[in-house]
Amino acid sequence: MNRREANKTLALAAIGSSLALETALAQTAVKAQKLIDLEKIDAKWKSLEFTFENTACILQRVAVPKEKTPRALLVEKEAFAAVSRRCTHAGCQTELPKTDGSHYCDCHGSQFDELGLVTAGPARTPLAAIKLEVREKAIWAVGFLS
């Protein structure tokens, strides 16, 4: 095996392990976790870093999507989304969202929109999205979307 073939094999292994992790996260029963009381979300509130199922994640206010998507939780006239910060290319942690809510991975330059959908590779798979619900006047993380 030459160097080029070895690099290709390593890259494929990294992608495979990332996909396996996302699948495992989606299939594992998780314990619901309270993230933030709705009354604490004021006009200045932007985002909340949290750990969910041993994964660094971020909850943020997002633009109300034009179409209904499980990636966004609508609460009255606002929308919220939470995603894993584990980049789906090779597992690096994405930076904190930019002011437009998009996510960027410094390792190889992948970019994701505020819902975690890929806008620029090399990543091809969206960031894992966390299923959100309103319970007891708070936003809860209740699992990973499959």
**Helix H or strand E encompassing 26:** helix 3-27
CB 92, min distance to ligand FES, A? 4
Whether the bond into 122 is cis, omega within 30 of 0: yes
Helix, strand or coil, per DSSP, at residue 12: helix
CB nearer to ligand FES: give 60 or 110: 110
State CA 67 to chain mean position distance: 19
CB nearer to ligand FES: give 65 or 91: 91
Binding flags for ligand FES, 33-72, as an x/- string (CB under 6 A): ----------------------------------------
- Tell me the site size for ligand FES, rule CB under 6 A: 12
CB nearer to ligand FES: give 15 or 81: 15
Rounded CA gap, 110 and 119, in Å?
8
**Helix H or strand E encompassing 51:** strand 47-52
Helix, strand or coil, per DSSP, at residue 79: strand
Among 30, 38, 63, 92, binds ligand FES (CB under 6 A): 92
The reply on whether position 110 binds ligand FES by CB under 6 A is yes
Rounded CA gap, 138 and 56, in Å?
20
The reply on whether position 89 binds ligand FES by CB under 6 A is yes
The reply on whether position 105 binds ligand FES by CB under 6 A is yes
The reply on whether position 122 binds ligand FES by CB under 6 A is yes
